[in-house]
Structure formats: structure tokens, C-alpha cells
Structure 1
Amino acid sequence: MKPPIPEKTRFDQTRASDPKKSAWVAANAGSGKTHVLAQRVVRLLLQGGRPDRILCLTFTKAAATNMSERVFRTLANWATFSDAELGDAIAATGEKRPDSPKDLAAARTLFARALESPGGLKTLTIHAFCERLLHIAPFEANVPANFSVLEDQQKTELLERARADVLQAAAENAALRSALDIVARDGGVDFEKTIGSALEKRAAFRELKAEAAHQRLRTALGAGAQDTVDSVLRAIGTGDLPPEDWPKVAEFMSTGSATDKKYAAAFRAAQEHWRTGDLEAASERLASIYLKSDGGPAKLLTKPLATARPDMLESLEAEQSRLMLLWDRLAAVRVCERTLALSVVVNAVADRYEHYKSMRQCIDFDDMIERTSTLLTRSSAAWLLKKLDGGIDHILLDEAQDTSASQWEIVERISADFFAGEGQAQQVRTLFVVGDEKQSIFSFQGAQPELFSTKRRMFAQKIREADGEFESVELHLSFRSSPGVLAAVDEIFASPERSRGLYGGQDHVKTVHEAWKREQPAVVELWDVIAPSETEPSRDWRLPLDYRDETDPAVASARRIASVIAGWLRDGEPIGTGPGRRAIRPDDIMILVRRRDAFFEAMIRALKEKGVPTAGSDRLALADHIAVMDLLAIARAALLPEDDLTLATILKSPVFALDDDDLIALAPNREGALIQALQASERFQHQAACATLDRLGRMARELTPFDFFARLLGPMGARRAILARLGPEAGDVLDEFLNLALQHEGKTTPNLRNFVAEVESSEGTIKRDLDTGAGQVRVMTIHAAKGLESRIVFLPDVCATPTTRLDFPIFLLDTGSGPLPVWSPRKELDCAGVAALRADKKEAGLQEYRRLLYVAMTRAEERVYIGGHRGKTELQPESWRLMLEQALGANARTAPAPWSPDETILRFADDPSDAPFEKTEAAGPAEKTELPDWLTRPPRAPQA
């Protein structure tokens, strides 16, 4: 029996879903925010709101679908309820219980109204909403009338073509060639990465086309309007200690210690470089005297010399202060010149990219937001605002913590008339926002958690000034996690250091969680960190460079986890309490990582080795997947069967299924090509393979790429063979591969050879839906797990910190008139302004790193197992592992390790979790269903 929901929570849910008031809801993880959002929609409909005037915006398609399903499921149930049941259901939403048959009948019709209303209930991602808006006014928005939206792979392809065009054009364009030289010189081996990163900020780089923006950039970084590298270098010699005095200083320093003599030699070298006009070298020599390796001021004289000549020390220190300012100006000038060079390249690539999009009549996702925002600010779009505003009475925004600044602008503009003028006076129009700053982990998509509080204050003031009602609601009760898990979460973020950034930059706010499942057992365990061996094991030189054996910490950690899970499934380890207590199933388990790295692959491999059902990777690189590689090789062999290596490769693929013995009987000591030996062989396997190859050759000559692969995968049985060998995850890959073949036919003349080359050069990935688990252990990133939950969560990736990854080379600088980009590839090239930006970026990254831990911990219902592995370097103080040890270690006790009774772990848990577990029978494998033979049998020939 489920425990009752506390009255305080019911009261807060009712306040948040009140259709007559605008509301801003801060909801902890698992606190039922989607339920409240759906409940508010239902109450709006009960109050007479028109379905087509309600707009629900969310972050992902899955969330939009979930939201819509909840509303329609509720309304569908109401249509079949008895009067008493319907009255109870309506009262449970917070509305008054109907007291007349007419009201009950009206409630029963809501399902039909929501389905049949023109336009219907708008439950959309913000990008889908923008797409609809742009289709209404394509001319005003400056988009093609029948535009389509570029998929990621198509976008990558067009950008690659645009880059290639620019590199080719540089041969005849001196300015572009000069800019490319600077970018290649300073970008080094990261040239492609630099261009790609800059293109993600191409809107900011576009601003640098204007000369006025150049001056804004210079001023913001501390460079003079007329400063050049040469002019700043020449200013080095204009101080009170000019170059002609440097030999005198060197002579004095030569009487001192070894350090003084080293500085004396540097002064002499600097003076010689200055005399010969090598100002750059002179500057570097002076910097070796006046600056420490970290860029701070160096100690200039040893104590005996400083005592003997205090005037010399004073003169040197004054010169040091002057030169440090000059060197910062010099760095600022170089940052500006480097950034402007990059802007020339990026804008050239962006222009070609825009050209290709225009030719295809396409826009990308960034265009959607930018064009919609521009459209809603234009005076010429006033009629559109009127039309849109007349069609929307209520806006509901989900996952508001992940809404970017540009997306907030759109929400502000479409709601502008809600609380002003005639739009506010005519009827009650509301805004509902729900989110959780603590779960803002998508900064790479523009999310800024501090905007959640900023926008709350702004909208609250605007609504109250318009005499509207505004509720600010907090939901603390978790319907997901057990008390022990929530206690661990609160303990982890109890200190100011560990909670910094959890609430969007506010001062320390202690997290408060309450559990609905008060009797639910909980386990939170800290396993020891696996470190590398102190002695480097001998390595076979024939192995790949990225090969990892069983002694590698990542592999050892993965195998340990897989062994524990396999033991649970084998022994029927129980989970839960009361009547719901049962054996653990594979889909009860989720393994969360920060990145898809070597451990990620090792984890999936270890589970498969132990026979644990696993869903595989949630992201798959299409061209690198073995199933796609096999299909492409089959196509190449069909086009050119004389290619011995390709033919040998496909003969061992699942489609032909020959083994080494078959190839050894065929290939060695043959005369001529492998295909000739295959054709001459009398073995049944070889004859069957030869017949299949002949058929494939005819198909390659006669069919389009889609028809070729569809026939290969379908009637010829390749899909069945591939899935039998590679597992169900290959099914998603094959489906996406066929989609690519279909897209190829839609954009160019179908050609199998061209399609094969296109796929092999692509870098596209496919996203797999692992929401439910479907009887399998899920291994996924924390970002992909956002919004999901699991009975058991493993956190094995807790030792690495984001410091290196966050050392970004391109920053956005606020100049007061909009952000401008700044490119500084390495810290030693920073001026003071860029160093501050880099420090801010690093701190923001560490804050998101802590929020990521919050999201990971709160995916768990009952158990959290925290492992870890590290490299040769020691753990950083900011690492999750040390945070967890500091927070939980004092209140944890030792317990036997689940993989070995001879080892121990630390367990932090509440009292119910310490109750002894009774062993139950393991869940048996799912019953296998055989497909009917007619499904794959060729159809009979029609009778005459």
C-alpha cells in the first residue's frame, strides 16, 4: 500500500496548478513536477480553457511526449469513470467537486475536445514551436517558404564542404590566406577543433565584421585603439630605465650571487637584441628577469645587492611595474589580432555554409532560435505577435533551468502582452514555469542556471505590477528516492564548498529533501578506488596503442561491477520491501558515467562477457559500428569482387558466416584473385557464397542504395544474421543506416559507390532510446539519464575532474553592447581580461560538475554504488570521490565487499537498509518467441 501524500505537498501542488494564477515552481529531483504540470493543464481545461490556446514548452521530444501522454491518459480515464470516480478524480486535482450532471458530462468531453480542437493541445519543444512560427511568416523571418530542418549529419556535411571551399579560396585571397596562417600557427594541431568550436559561436563572430566591434574588443581587453605588436614592443624602451642603461644594471648585478649573474647575462642579451632590432627577443629576455614562470612579479635583487643599492632596487621595481602593464597590453593586442584572424576564417566558412543552406532551402536549430527571436522584435512582425498572442492564453515551460538566454527572450516576447494592455485586461492569462537549478547540466547548449532566479524575479514583478496573481512554490518531497539515498544527497551538499553553484551562483543554500517512501530500504556504498600498478607491466609491441588488458584500472573496475551484477542475477538478490520485494532484474540497474571513454566501452564489454543482458551504448558512431562496416564492405565487394581483402572480410561477416577453416581451404596457394578461387571451389559453403556474390553484383548494378541494402537486410536475411551475432543494439544502427540511404536518394542521383564513400567519411552518431531498459542493464552518460530513474545506480566515474576539459580556447566577452568572441588557445597567451574569463569559465565548469553529481545521485530509488578508478596522478581536491569521502565517510561503517568477503567497503545507509535480506529465486529468462516461418518465406508466384 502506498503511503499517503502529506497535506503540505498536496497544498503546494494545488497552489502550483491553480489555473487562475501564474506560478514559478522550484522542484527537487523526483518531486513530481511533470505530474503538477499535467495537472495544471487538466485544471485549465476544466476551467473552460481552450486546448488550442494552451502552449506547453519543454526541453526534449521525449519530455513533450511524456507530458502529452499524461494529460490525454487522465482525460481518457475520465471519459469512462463512473460519476463517483470522476468526482473524486476532479477533486484530487484541486478543483471543486462537480455538483451537477452537466458538470460531470462536460468533464467527460474534455478528452474529445482536446483531440478534436483545431490546432490541438500544443505540447512542443521550443525548437518545434519556433519551426511552426517560422512557417507562419517565412518571408518576414527571412527563411525559405518550405524550409526543412537540417539533421546533425547533414549539418556536419555542409560545414565540411564550406571549410573545404574556404581553404581552396585562400589560394587566391591574400587576406584570407594571412588569416589562415595565423589560425594554423596558433591553433596548432587543434586547427579543425578550433574552427569547429568557433562555428558554434558564429553569431558572435559575425559581430566582428563591423569595424566598431574591433574597437569595442580592444577597449574591453585593455589594448589601445592604435596599438600594434610593434608599437607596444617599442614602448618597452621608453621608460626611466632605457636600453642604454641595461649594461650598467648588468655590470652591477654581475657582482652578486649566481641568480644575480644570470639576470645580468639576460640584461646584456636583451640589450644586444634591442640593438639589432630584434624587439621580440629583447622582450622575452626582459620577461625572464622581471616575471616568474606563472607570470607574477619576480624578485629582482638578492638581499646583499638590494642593501647596497636601494635606489637600484627601486628603479628596477618601478620598471617592473611599467613593463608588466606593457606586456599585458601586448598580450591584449595579440589576442585581438588572433581573434580577428579567426573571425575572418569563421565568417568565410559561415557565409559558405549559409549559401549551401539556402541552396537546399534548409535551416539549422540555431537558425530557428535566432530567426524567431529576430522576427518577434521587428516592427514588421507586429501582426504576427497579434495573431500569436490571440491564439495563446497560457504558457507552461518545463525544464526551465536548461532554457538558454536566447530561448528566454522568445518566452518573454510571446508572453509580453499577457500582463499589459488589452491582453491582460480581457481575461486571465497565465505563465507557469517549473525547473530545478540543481539539475542544470547543459551549459554546452547555452543553459545558465542563474537565469532561473533572475527570470523569476522579473516575471513576478511584471505580473504583480499588472495586478496579476503570482505564486512561488517549492516542492521538496521526492516520490522517487528512499530516505537513505536522500540523506546521502543532503549530506554531500551540506557544506558551502560542496554546494557552490548548486543554486545558480547564490550563496550557500542547504539542500532539503523529503522522502515519500519512508519505509523504503536504502544502500549507499563507497568502494575502494582502483589504482594502476606501481610497476609498468611488459607490453606486447604488436598490440594496438589503445589496447587495455585486465590490469588496467578502467577494465578492472568494469569487471568488478559486472561480476557483482552477475552474482545478483544468479543468486536472486532481493530488492524492495513489503509485498513488492522481489529479485533484482537487469533493468533495475543503471550505470552512469560522465563521458563515453575507455571505461564506457570496457563496462559494456565486461557485462557481455559475464552474460548480463545489456542495452549497449546509448550513442553509436554509425560509420565505426561493425554492422555498418560489414554492410559497406559487402557493397564494395559487390561493386569490385576482385578486391581480395574486402572479399575475405565479408566472407567472415555474419552474412556469409565462413570461418577460418573455410578461408584457409580457399585462400593459401591459390592462383589469381580470391574470387576466382571461390568460383572454382567445389565446397558447398564456397558455392553458396559465390551465388550470393553474383546476386549482390546484379543488385549493385540495378538498384538504388536504399533498395540494395533493404533487400540485403530483409529478404536475404542479413538483418537476422547480424542481430544474432551482434545483439539487439545493432537493430538501431541498421535502421539509421537505411534512413541515410533514403536521404542520399533524396538529395542527389542515387549511386551505391558514392553512398558508400559518403558514409565512410561521415562522423554522424545515432541516439538510442534507453528510457525503459527493456530487461537490460543500461550504461549511459549522466546527461543522457536526465529525467530517468532506476532502482539501482552505479557511479564508477568519480575520480576525474573537468579541469582539463574546461580549458576552452574561445570565450565570450561582455562588452556592454553584446558579447564578442575572444580566442586564446593557451593560458600563457592570455592577457588579464582573458585570464579572468578563463578563471570564470573554470569555476562555472566546476559548479556544473557538482550539479552533475546531484543529478547522478538522484536517479537512484534505493541503492547507489560508488566505485572509481584513476590513473597515475593523485585525485584532485574537487573530485567527486574526495567530496563523497569527506561527506559520507564519518557516518559510514565498514561492511564486506560484495565481490569478495575478504575485502571491505564503506556503507552509508539509513536503518531500514540494514535489515537482513532474504534470498529469493532469481528472475528467469524471458520466454523466447519464435517467428512464424511465413514471415521470411518468399511469396508464391501469382497463378495464371
Structure 2
Amino acid sequence: MDSSSFKIYNASAGSGKTYTLSSAYLKIILSRPFGFKRILAITFTNKAVNEMKGRILESLFSFSEVTSEDNTPPLFLEMMQALNLTVPELQKLSELRLKEILHNYAFFDISTIDKFTHRLIRTFARDLKIPQNFEVVLDTDLLLDESVARILSKAGEDKELTKVLLDFALEKIDDDRSWDIGYDLLKIGALLFNESNISHLELLKDKDLQSFKVLKEAVIRQLKNLEKKLSAMATETLNYIAQSGLEMEDFPRQTLPDHFKKVKNGIFSPASLYKNKLEENLINGKIVKVNVVLPSAEIPIQLLQRYLGIKELIYQRSFLQNVYRNLVPLTLLNAIQQEVAAIQKEKDQLSISEFNSIISKEIKNQPAPFIYERLGEKYRHYFIDEFQDTSEMQWTNLIPLIGSALEGQDDFGKTGSLFVVGDVKQAIYRWRGGKAEQFLDLATAQSNPFSVSADTYLLPKNYRSHEEIINFNNRFFQSASQFLENDSYKHFFKEGNKQETNSKKGGYVKLSFLEEDTEENYGQKTLESINHALSNGYAFENICIIVRKKKHGVSLADYLMKEHVPVISSESLLLASSPKIHFMVSLIRWSLQPEEQALAFAILNFLAELREHKHDFIIEHLNDLANGLLHEFNFNSHLFSQLSVYDGMEYVIRTFNLSQSQDAYLNAFMDTVFEVEQKDGADKQSFLNYWDKKEDTLSIVIPESTSAVQIMTIHKAKGLEFPVVIFPYANTNIYEEIDPKLWIPVDTETFSGFSEVLISKKQEVLDYGNKEAHIFNEEQGKLQLDSFNLLYVALTRAVSTLYIVSAYDFKKEHTYKTDYFSGLFIHFLKEQQLWRDETFEYEFGTVPKKIEDLGKETHITTIPYIYTHKDRPNFSILTSAGMLWDTEQEKAIKKGNTIHYLLGLIKFANDLETALKIGLQKGIIVAGEIEQIKRTLRQVIDHNDLRDLFKTGTTVLNETDILMADGTIQRPDRVVIKNKEVYIIDYKTGAKNSKYKNQLNTYADAFLEMEYAVTHKIIVYINDNIDIEFIP
């Protein structure tokens, strides 16, 4: 029977999925000329893209060098058999296909899902009314910060908004929380960029502040009515007890009447009412003391019914209170969304999180041939890697394209194909929109959007790890799977952990339990594990410490560095961790706050580091830092304050000789400064705003061969492997979350036209009602799966040695907690009959004594910092192609600097040739660039709106300083004066920015004070085309 053209592969950790994908890919491209042009392969990281591209090219290259069947790669033999080719035939064909790809590399379409989606949006930009040159925003935190700041700045101006903000602050104060609502708005605003919330937010898009005000009033009204009803029901119940002939003393500790008294007196908190065994006693008829005879057998039944009726209303009230507490942040969500949209429109930006939503709305209903036509390609074969991380919307957007290929035929009567590879057990990106259930449904044939049925395969063998590690993980996860609530998840963990071993024998697993769960103990045990690995022939670079939480990585890095263990972690790679960078940023801050002695101290402390009398040096200059820097280092703080951030930093680098040795932190920092200037302008405060928000994430990239222990989170470790893995802090609470929320469907009439409300997720939701309990349990099941998946990814990274450090964690009754990782490990050991009380270490297998050829030797070439500071008035710019990396960033730097400099030499149109000669003589441009640069300059000089401003007979001031009233100096690029009328021009490259307008308005104010009439303020954007913007 012929196999299906739709294939699904279940690929557990280390099972050779890249090999499987490469094999399928090679069969297609070897079967027909230029077959690769008809293939779209999608994965989720650039690293995975490069790995797959590399595997294809390396395979074709190695095939092209095969001369006989002796010692041929296994994949070569597989291709021979599959395509029925001889060795010479496959060798020649491989050489030909390799040349086809290399000569048409742009059509070698293996990309990330985001890159492909980006391309779709670019293709349809005009239809979507999106600027063609929009900037993709990868970091939505900055966008959200600015949006919230704008909303808060409107307090006092917009009356309706101000009232909402004020009410929210007062509610927080009433709850003994900080009145600062900024953090709350950031949290609720994050919902805008999470794909799983899109369908819910869609229901709110037409709701304004007034709609939410009406909803709030409705909720308050319902709360008041419920409270009245509860008080009345409690009073009625107490009267019933009195009328039944029972005394308060007849009840044990008077618990039952006290319960109803609390409700009568307005105590409605479930925590105060339902933490005893009262309900259990009522159900069992134990409501009075043993020696008391009940007047009627009906009394226990009546009291139980009244008790349960009140309880139901108590939890209805709790639900409404939960809704109420989330109302104000939700009310402001639309306002935040509007600000986000406004900012993006101003800056021609589009956040990456919007891509899928835009395509889903605008493109999914287009016929597939139309989409192909607009893309300019027609794919017939699709490969999707890491399908478990694909979001629902991403998959929905791909279905029309894939369906057309899979269900239709090409000109030769051939159907297309789809290869899907995934693993439910490695789905750890739900917070980013990934939906493991989607792959689960596809793999089990519960859901198939195509008419073609799928063939499902299991990749059975683990090629990564040694035998002992594979066996340990198989046994452990089969044991742990019984605690998964969802049967489908349970099945995948049980069946997916029966991996076959490979030829790598031996291996070692050590499972340790700490008596005291402290940072010190985890650090000590981790160090012990490192030393144990080193004593068995491993090197520092062979070891990776994997942690669930970033803060644990920070703690371990601090501990290990104190013990002189070389460590590379995300924190140690942060730009902010470099003393040089800290010094440079402190100088920027000090230039804006010269009276701040803490900043002066930080600067002097850095400069005094190598001085013999450090303390005396600091004391001497602390009160007059500017004078001290001038006399000690010839650093002119006044000049520094006038420079742009980039020029200022280069001035600092040269003056303080910071580039004496190669420094990756310095290079990366200057790249960051340049990028911020391009987006936000050159003023120092803009840079500091960016730095303050991003200093915890901006980092350098280091070579993989660096001799140091790596520390990384589970998410960063996914897809990687290491000879030695240490997994400390292996005692995570499976259900741990930070302020989780739930969307709950509600009756639109009761809730003023709203069909959904947002509530906080907490245990009491189980008592709100069946609907709420179902949603809660469903989310708990997903949370449980996500935690199991994180554990699975952590334990399957090791090749030969695995150390797990957990906690000896028991409840008071000496039972272990299976909702913690530690409990799962303890249960496993008990099930294997290995557990011994007071035994804290368990070993499986033995450590190989010597590890040979763990990696290729890497020769690292360091690149010194290239200084480009323009020391006015005489300077030259070195832009020799051999001195720069050929990157888009470097091209942008060169183009911006060159054009800007040459325009500064041109007062009138006839100065053009002279300016080009000067540029050539000073090495600013080379002969081969002249014509292209000349065309660009001509576009400016001859532009219809600028031509008159380059004619003779006027006064022209190029880059001339203007002393402002406050003592600062401003420097417009070009000022043209005609009979007391002034034209101010600034040249810019890159995207438009509203801050540029403010800059020109500042220049204009100076000329107005000098009694000039400012006729025009003009920004000239010099990119591929010249764009003129007149500022009103």
C-alpha cells in the first residue's frame, strides 16, 4: 500500500529528527531539478534553521565526493536505495543539486515561522494599509512601557480616564497594597501580546470606558443584592434554630450557629467560613452534642440545605468580587491598546506578536493560488519542525497554503506533501502561544484539516545519550506519568518513554536530595558535582548547569565564582556586568545630573581602581568632578554634554583609553548605542530610558568553546546537548504560577452586554460553579503538562553524565508531595524499591573515566574596537571595506556618516564636485562609490522642495553651533537665511521619529528669539529614496 503524502513523526529527545527531516528533504530535491524551489521548511529558531541548512548542504557535498560504496555515509546508501541510483549516478546528481542551491541560494527556503509570516505581511502590506518600510518590534516590553506611561500622563487631563485611575489607586490602598498602579497596568497590558488572549480581547474591542463603567455598576449592584440576601438567609436560619427548640449550647463549640452569625454580620470570606469540618458533620447528621436529643429528624436536613444554599451564594459573591478586582485593569486595557496602536503608527512599527493575527484576519480567506501569486512562488512540499510549539493561529494561517499542495496536483499530476515533526513532551512555550494539544490531536487523528489522512511514525531510538541515562529517563517518566490528570498526556509520556538505546554503553546518573533546601546547599552540591565530573576527565566547557528559574542561575553563578569556577551565564554576559560599561553609563547620567555625588563616586571609583592611593583620589575630586576629569584626564565635560550619545561614548573611549584591549562588551555596547540613536534620536535621556528598561537583557555572545561552565534556563537549553548536565533546584511546584488569570463566559444580560469577564485564578474558583471549575481544571491540566515537559527537557540534555539535585521534602505526615518534582523522584525510587529513609544519594551506572574528542579545537580571533569619533574641527572617517564587517548595520553606519559629512561641505549646488574630491582625499569614500554617492547627493540638492535652498545668494550655515538661552549648544545640519527668513534643515537616515520634530522646534525657538522669521522646518530622510517632511 502506498504511503500517505502527509507524514507525522513523533520525535522524542535525541531521536534523530534532523536526520529524518534531512532524508525526506534530500529525496525530494534529488528527484527533480530545482526541486528545492518548491519546498518550504519551517522551524522555530535561527539555530535550527542553520542546523538544517547545514545538514542538507553538508550531505550533498559529502555525497558529491563519494567514489565507491566503501565507507559511504548511511544517508547516501539510503538515498541510493530510495531513488534506485548507482554510486556514480548519485554522486554526480548530488554535485549538480548542490550547485543549483548555491547558485540560487535565495530560493533555499528553510526559515523560521516568524520570518515566513513577516514575508507574507510584507507581500500584503498595501492591502493591509501597512507602511511598506514598517519596523518589526521584537521587544514588546518597551512598547508597553511607553503606552502605560502615556496613559498615566493623561491623569488630570482626561476626566473619565482620571476617575478610573484614581478609583483603582484608592482600591489598592483599601486592600493595603501600594497605590502605584503602573505595575498592574503593565501586567494587564501584557495580555495584548499573548496570542492565547486574542479571541477573548476581540470581544472587548468595541467596549469603551463608559461600557466598563456600566459593567462595574452592575457588578456592585449584584454584590449588594447578594449580601442582603445572605444576611437575610443567615438571620432566617438562626431564627429556625431558635424556633426548633434548640439552644446555642446544644451545638459542639457553638460552631454551627456561629457560622450563621458570621454571615449575618457581614463576614462573607470563604476562608473564614469553610476551613472546618462543619459541612462533613452536617452531611453525617452530627450537628448537636451527643447527649442532646433532636426535636425533629427534619432539622439536620433543613440545616444542611440552608448551609449549602448560603455557601453557593457566598461563592457567587466571591466570583463577583473576583470580577470586580479585575475590572479596572481590564477597563484600561482598551486604552492601553489604543496607545500601543498610536505609538506604532507614529513610528511605522508592527510588533511581531501581531503578525499571526493580521494574517488570520486578512489573508486566510483568500484563495491559496492568489497567495502563491503574490508571494511569487508555488510551494508543493512543506516541512514543519517543532510542531508542538506552533500556535493555533500560526497553524490556521498555514492550512490554506498546505491544503492546496496536499490536496491538489501540479502540471505533472503529482500531489504535494507535508512532513510534520514534533513531541508533546517538549512543548514548553505555551506562554508564547505554543499549543501542545494541537500536535496531540493531529498525531492521534482526532483532528485533521485536510482530506488526506496522515501516516504517523514513532522515532524509536535515542541517538544522543548513553544507555544508563536513557534507561533512567524511560523508567522515571513512565513512573511519573501516572500522576498526569489528562489521559492523553499520560499516554504520550508513558509510550514516548520507551526509547531504544544506541551503541553508547554506560553512562551515569546521580540523584541527590538535600536535607535543607537552601541556596548555600544547592551551591555546595553543584560544586561537588562539577568536581566529580572534572575528576573523571571532563573539562569545564563540557558541563552545563540547567535551572528552571533565572534567579537560581544568578545564585549559583555567584557561589561558583567565589569558589574560582569559571562560569558563563546570561548574567555574566550582560553588558551591565562590565565595569567599563557601568562607568560609561554613569558618565551619561552624571552629565545630566552633575550634582549627584553617588554618580561622581561611581565614576571616580572606576578611575581610581589601579591607583595606589585610591581613597585620597576619590576624596580629592568628589566635590568638583568636572575639574578633576579635565586636569587628570583632559576630559572636557562641557564638550561631552554637547555631543550625541554615540559621539560622546567614543570621546570617552579615546580619552580614558578604554579600547586598549579587545573588549566584546565595549563593541556590543556601542552597537546598542548606535541602534538606539537610529530609533529614538541622539539625546542622552532617551538612551538612558532605553538602558534602564533593557540593561537586564542586553548581553554579548561568546564562542561555544570558551573554557567555562555554562548556566542556562531550561528554555534556552531546549534543542541543545551537553556531555555533563547538572540540574539543581529540582524541586519545582508543578502548579506554580505568577498572578494567573482566567476568562469566564457570562450571561450578557446580567453583565451589561459583556459575554466574558476576567478573574484571578485561585483554588476557590473550583467552588464558583461547574463551568468555572471545568475551566480551572482544564488550565491546571495544561499547567501540569508544561511542568512535566520542562522536567523532561532538563533531564534529556545529557550525553553521558547527569546530576539531579532535589530536596528531601515531606509533608508533616511524612508523605511525599507529588505536586513537586521531589515527590516524583521519591515515588520513582520507592516504586523501583530503591528508596531508603535517611539516604540522600542514589547512583545509576558509572562515569566514563576519560572523554576523548569532546569537541573541535576552536581558534578565536579577537577584533579590536574600531574608533570612529569625529574630533571637531578636523577629522577623518576611515571606512575602508577591509576594516568593516559586511553587515547591514555597518552599511547603515557608513552611509549615514558619509552622506552627512559630505552635505556638511556643500553650501551651494556647485560645491558638489569639490565635496566629493575632499571625501576621496580624506579616505571617506573610495573611487568605486563616487557615482552612487553622487546620485544620492544630487537627489537632495535637485529635489523640487530643496533646489532653491542650494542656490547662491543666500547665507548658509552648515553644522554651526547655536548658544541657547540655558547655556546649552545646539547644532542644526543646515540653516539657510534669506532676508531675515530662516529655513532649518536636518538630515536623517532610518525611520521617521517624532523626536526629530521636537529637535527642529528647539532650533526654531532659538532663531525666533533672535527675531528671525522661521519660514520652514524641514527633515530630509535619506534612505533608498529621499523623503521630505515639513514640520508645521
* TM-score tier (shorter): 0.7 to 0.9
Q: In the alignment, residue 131 of structure 1 is paired with which amino acid?
A: H
Aligned position for 1:196: 186
Is contact 1:593-1:781 (8 Å) kept? yes
Aligned position for 2:907: none
Equivalence map 1:906-917=2 (5 Å): 906-910=841-845, 913=846, 917=849
CA deviation string 1:148-190 (max 9, x = no partner): 11131xx323212221222343545565455446655369459
Is contact 1:488-1:908 (8 Å) kept? no
**Alpha-carbon deviation of 1:449?**
1.8
Q: Give the SS at the match of 1:407.
A: helix
Aligned position for 2:250: 256
Is contact 2:795-2:802 (8 Å) kept? yes
Aligned position for 2:204: 208
Aligned position for 1:837: 775
Distance 1:788 1:417, change over 3 A: same
Aligned position for 1:66: 51
Q: Distance in 1 between matches of 2:645 and 2:207?
A: 50
Q: What's the TM-score once normalised by structure 2's chain length?
A: 0.71
Q: Distance in 1 between matches of 2:877 and 2:695?
A: 42
Q: In the alignment, residue 825 of structure 2 is paired with which amino acid?
A: L
Distance 1:524 1:567, change over 3 A: closer
Q: What's the TM-score once normalised by structure 1's chain length?
A: 0.77
Identity among equivalent pairs (%):
17
Aligned position for 1:233: 227
2:42 counterpart of 1:57: yes
2:569 counterpart of 1:616: yes
Distance 1:605 1:649, change over 3 A: same
Equivalence map 1:505-584=2 (5 Å): 506=491, 509-514=494-499, 517-531=502-516, 553-566=518-531, 569=534, 573-574=535-536, 583-584=537-538
Q: In the alignment, residue 795 of structure 2 is paired with which amino acid?
A: M
Q: Distance in 2 between matches of 1:510 and 1:129?
A: 34
**Alpha-carbon deviation of 1:783?**
1.2
Aligned position for 1:577: none
Q: Give the SS at the match of 2:9.
A: strand
Aligned position for 2:993: none
Q: Give the SS at the match of 2:294.
A: helix
Is contact 2:67-2:88 (8 Å) kept? no
Range 131-140 or range 811-820, more displaced: 811-820
Aligned position for 2:317: 330
- For these two proteins, the number of residue pairs brought into alignment is 843
Aligned position for 2:362: 375
Distance 1:624 1:180, change over 3 A: farther
Equivalence map 1:64-213=2 (5 Å): 64-82=49-67, 90-93=76-79, 95-99=82-86, 104-117=91-104, 119-152=106-139, 155-171=140-156, 173=158, 175-177=160-162, 179-180=164-165, 183-184=168-169, 185=171, 188-189=177-178, 191-202=181-192, 203=198, 204-210=200-206
CA deviation string 1:858-890 (max 9, x = no partner): 101111112235899887333222322332467
Equivalence map 1:479-518=2 (5 Å): 479-495=463-479, 496-498=481-483, 504=489, 506=491, 509-514=494-499, 517-518=502-503
Q: In the alignment, residue 887 of structure 1 is paired with which amino acid?
A: F
Aligned position for 1:535: none
Q: Distance in 1 between matches of 2:661 and 2:809?
A: 40
Distance 1:872 1:346, change over 3 A: farther
Range 806-815 or range 315-324, more displaced: 806-815
**Alpha-carbon deviation of 1:722?**
9.4
Q: Distance in 1 between matches of 2:729 and 2:238?
A: 59
Q: Distance in 1 between matches of 2:747 and 2:404?
A: 28
Q: Distance in 1 between matches of 2:584 and 2:529?
A: 37
Distance 1:930 1:614, change over 3 A: same
659, 665, 676: which one aligns with 2:616: 665
Is contact 1:19-1:40 (8 Å) kept? no
2:823 counterpart of 1:858: no
Q: Distance in 1 between matches of 2:184 and 2:244?
A: 43
Is contact 2:41-2:109 (8 Å) kept? yes
Distance 1:183 1:124, change over 3 A: farther
Equivalence map 1:916-935=2 (5 Å): 917=849
Is contact 1:19-1:44 (8 Å) kept? no
**Alpha-carbon deviation of 1:325?**
2.8
Distance 1:720 1:125, change over 3 A: farther
**Alpha-carbon deviation of 1:36?**
1.4
Q: Distance in 2 between matches of 1:923 and 1:386?
A: 49
Q: Distance in 1 between matches of 2:69 and 2:818?
A: 60
Q: Distance in 1 between matches of 2:444 and 2:325?
A: 40
658, 671, 689: which one aligns with 1:718: 658
Q: Distance in 2 between matches of 1:872 and 1:487?
A: 27
Q: In the alignment, residue 860 of structure 1 is paired with which amino acid?
A: A
Distance 1:70 1:749, change over 3 A: same
Aligned position for 1:579: none
Q: Give the SS at the match of 1:630.
A: helix
Q: Distance in 1 between matches of 2:791 and 2:340?
A: 38
Q: Give the SS at the match of 2:342.
A: helix
366, 377, 380: which one aligns with 1:393: 380
2:644 counterpart of 1:704: yes
CA deviation string 1:574-604 (max 9, x = no partner): 4xxxxxxxx311111111111011x422321
Q: Give the SS at the match of 1:792.
A: strand
**Alpha-carbon deviation of 1:430?**
0.6
Aligned position for 1:46: 30
Equivalence map 1:863-882=2 (5 Å): 863-868=801-806, 876-882=817-823
Q: In the alignment, residue 596 of structure 1 is paired with which amino acid?
A: K
Range 602-611 or range 423-432, more displaced: 423-432
Distance 1:306 1:934, change over 3 A: closer
Distance 1:867 1:330, change over 3 A: closer
Q: Distance in 2 between matches of 1:808 and 1:649?
A: 37
Aligned position for 1:683: none
**Alpha-carbon deviation of 1:806?**
2.0
Larger RCO (alpha carbons 8 Å, 6+ apart) = 1
Distance 1:175 1:554, change over 3 A: same
Range 241-250 or range 874-883, more displaced: 241-250
2:727 counterpart of 1:787: no
**Alpha-carbon deviation of 1:46?**
0.6
Is contact 2:677-2:687 (8 Å) kept? no
Distance 1:746 1:228, change over 3 A: same
Aligned position for 1:277: none
Aligned position for 1:811: 742
Distance 1:562 1:101, change over 3 A: closer
Q: Distance in 2 between matches of 1:641 and 1:337?
A: 47
Aligned position for 1:727: none
Distance 1:449 1:568, change over 3 A: closer
Q: In the alignment, residue 823 of structure 1 is paired with which amino acid?
A: I
Distance 1:705 1:129, change over 3 A: same
Give ranges in structure 1 of 5+ residues lacking alignment.
Answer: 1-14, 274-280, 533-552, 575-582, 680-688, 724-730, 896-902
**Alpha-carbon deviation of 1:780?**
0.8
CA deviation string 1:386-430 (max 9, x = no partner): 545961111110111111212221222321223445669942201
Q: In the alignment, residue 717 of structure 2 is paired with which amino acid?
A: A
Is contact 1:490-1:510 (8 Å) kept? no
Is contact 1:247-1:268 (8 Å) kept? no
574, 587, 596: which one aligns with 2:541: 587
CA deviation string 1:725-775 (max 9, x = no partner): xxxxxx3x5444323311221134312344235423546513665793533
Q: Give the SS at the match of 1:742.
A: helix
Give ranges in structure 2 of 5+ residues lacking alignment.
Answer: 193-197, 749-753, 870-875, 879-920, 924-1032
Is contact 1:591-1:780 (8 Å) kept? yes
Q: Distance in 1 between matches of 2:103 and 2:859?
A: 41
Is contact 2:156-2:162 (8 Å) kept? yes
Q: Distance in 2 between matches of 1:711 and 1:83?
A: 63
Is contact 1:806-1:841 (8 Å) kept? no
Q: In the alignment, residue 602 of structure 1 is paired with which amino acid?
A: S
